[in-house]
Structure formats: C-alpha cells, structure tokens
A and B are shown apart, each in its own frame.
Chain A
Amino acid sequence: NAGVMQNPRHLVRRRGQEARLRCSPMKGHSHVYWYRQLPEEGLKFMVYLQKENIIDESGMPKERFSAEFPKEGPSILRIQQVVRGDSAAYFCASSPEGSRYGYTFGSGTRLTVV
C-alpha cells in the first residue's frame, strides 16, 4: 500500500515559468491538503480539496496559485509565473473522508526558482 506520492521530488523553474506539482493520495483517502514549507520554517496550510471540490483555500495566495483534485488522476498544485519567493518545499497530505485523524504526508516537492 503506497503512501502519499508526490512528483517531481525536485523541480527547477526560471522566473516567469509555470510549476506543476502532483500528488496522489493514499489508497482509500479522498481528501488532499497542500502545505508549503519555507527554509527553517514550519509547514503552512495552503488548500484543502476533495474530489472535484475545493473545501478550504484560505492559505492560498490570491494570485498565481491554483489547485485542483479532479475525479480521475492526481491533485495538482499549479503556480504560474513563478518568482524567487516561491522557492520552498511543497507537501501534500491525505486523509480518509476529511478526517484530521490519519493524516499522512508525502515526501514533498522541492521547488527552486532561478
């Protein structure tokens, strides 16, 4: 039973390019959460999704960031026109039916903007 799978593990983008981060939840988990971790910082909540629905996006920047969790396929965190300040580790977690118990994190995608 694979855990939460994130890819790519490392992503380098030039300023102005788009970054797409993917997350496949654990088997049986229908809810996905994205968190961002800056160097030397804790994780900050970004968005909470279930299939085809955004439940809570209160942590998402107002511009350039979007997230989706389609009926089929992984959840995608999309960052348009990346800037140096977007460089961070982005972690995805999943849980069964939105329960905060049984939260499991993936290994993250480390985005570097050059």
Chain B
Amino acid sequence: GESVGLHLPTLSVQEGDNSIINCAYSNSASDYFIWYKQESGKGPQFIIDIRSNMDKRQGQRVTVLLNKTVKHLSLQIAATQPGDSAVYFCADSGANSKLTFGKGITLSVRP
C-alpha cells in the first residue's frame, strides 16, 4: 500500500545546531511533498513544500531536499531554536488532493 514513513522516532539537538529530519516515501506516483510541524494540542502547521520537478527548495531557516531516485525527503532546519521543538511530519500526494502522512518524529532542542 501507499505509505510515508520516517526513519527515527525522536531527534535531540543542541540549540544553535542544524537539524536534519529524514523521510522515506513509497508511492512513486507522488509528485508533491510537504513538511508539517505540530505542537502539542495544535493542528499541523505548514512549513515548506516541494514539487517533484525540483530537488531542493529553501525557506526561512528551512530547506527541503527531494531525492526521487531513492524516494527520500529531508527537512533541514538551520540554527535550531527552542521554538522548533515539536513533532514533524512529512506528507505526500499524487494526482488527487488527499495527503498521506508519516508517523512523525519528535524534535527536542536542548538549551
């Protein structure tokens, strides 16, 4: 079946370091990928997205990399801050509008 999964359940980083969160997807027909941040008690918050015709996209302090050959997606957060502590989800979609989410990884930032 179609699934999007994350390699690690938790990631602990020192404040100021860079964070890298990885994601593998299995649906080769997926052509749109999104990273979401979810804080406790809140809904998913859009971070950054990328379409399959690109392999890299940068935002403010965040970069998403897409490797379609190995069906791998990563989120890089520069100079990680305490406010970045949350659960991060990758999601993908194909021709329809529904999203397939991974299980999530918890990012914990040490002061």
Contact = CB atoms under 8 A, between A and B. Distances in A.
B43 A99 contact: no
21 contacts: A35-B101, A41-B103, A41-B104, A42-B4, A42-B101, A42-B102, A43-B44, A43-B91, A55-B97, A56-B97, A59-B98, A91-B44, A99-B97, A100-B93, A100-B96, A101-B32, A101-B49, A103-B34, A103-B97, A103-B99, A104-B46
Interface stretch (A13-21, A64-72, A78-86, A105-113): A105-113
B99 A43 contact: yes
Nearest to A42: B101
Interface of A: 4, 31, 33, 35, 40-45, 48, 55-56, 58-59, 91, 95, 98-101, 103-108
B100 interface: yes
Contacts of B93: 100
Contact of B97 (A31, A42, A43): A31
A100 B46 contact: no
Interface size class of B (residues with CB under 8 A): 20 to 34
B89 interface: yes
Interface of B: 4, 32, 34, 36, 41-46, 49, 89, 91, 93, 96-104
Nearest to A10: B41
Given A40-B103, A100-B32, A100-B93, A45 B46 contact: no
Contact of A42 (B42, B45, B46, B89): B89
Which among A59, A103, A104 has the highest number of chain B CB atoms within 10 Å? A103
A56 to B, nearest CB: 6
Contact of A43 (B42, B46, B89, B96): B89
Nearest to B51: A101
A105 B44 contact: yes
A48 B103 contact: no
B95 to A, nearest CB: 9
Given A31-B97, A48-B98, A106 B43 contact: yes
A45 B43 contact: no
